[in-house]
Amino acid sequence: MTITPEQRITLHGFNNLTKSLSFNMYDICYTKTKEEREAYIEYIDEQYNSDRLTAILKNVSDIIGAHVLNVAQQDYVPQGASVTVLISEGPIVEVPTESYAESPGPLPESVVIQLDKSHITVHTYPEYHPDEGISTFRADIDVSTCGEISPLKALHYLTHSFDTDIMTIDYRVRGFTRDTNGHKLFIDHDIASIQNYIPDEVRSQYDMIDVNVYQENIFHTKCKLKQFDLDNYLFGYTKESLSEKEQQNISTRLKIEMDEIYYGKNMT
């Protein structure tokens, strides 16, 4: 099925397709001591507390044109936070042509797009290696929508909202809707890759792999930062304070950690 930006599908009743976007990001840090690890986790908890996460999800709601019905947020002890936003259809002025195009969505601004009842959630997971060498922060964001607009339009903003070393992104369209002739439509927009919804300047910074099941409308993309600067992974000091051997050892450990997350398996 090919839909041009000028075309719209005339449906029989409501668009019953469910579109789900899962965005997972990882931030990795080397924490040499218990004190460094605790300071890093405290920093992460402050940077990504429930208030800031709520603001991010409300911006996502604005981008996809949703109206926030209810917000539930929680900061956990000793660390972590979660937010759930229940959303409903926002004011409908007109369906933008870009809703059918494979292109990055906007950053937060005045955007009005059709959306029906659904939800957005975020959960954070700070954790550390038992030998206190590596600390990892993960945030999971899920955007589920019903109707014409794809939550992929929020991906551009999400990539700007977090400092990410690794990203894994899943998108799936479920269910079906019918046109006026009763013909089932299992997807209402063309998509070749999630990568097409990520701006070129962001794509150029990452190695990317796609694993897509087109006949099932399932799409998966994972991304790993290309450039490695050890200073970006040290907390509270710079590599100049380390010997060359220490720099090499720490860099190797960090790169192994990133590869294990990226490829989804333990490495020796």
Which of the residues are catalytic?
118, 123, 146
CB 82, CB 121: distance < 8 Å: yes
Q: How far apart are CA 23 and CA 11, in angstroms?
A: 30
Number of C-beta neighbours around residue 40 at 10 A: 21
- Cis preceding-peptide flag for 78 (omega within 30 of 0): yes
CA 95 to chain centre: 24
Strand order in the sheet with 166-174: 66-75, 81-89, 116-128, 134-146, 18-30, 166-174, 218-225, 206-210
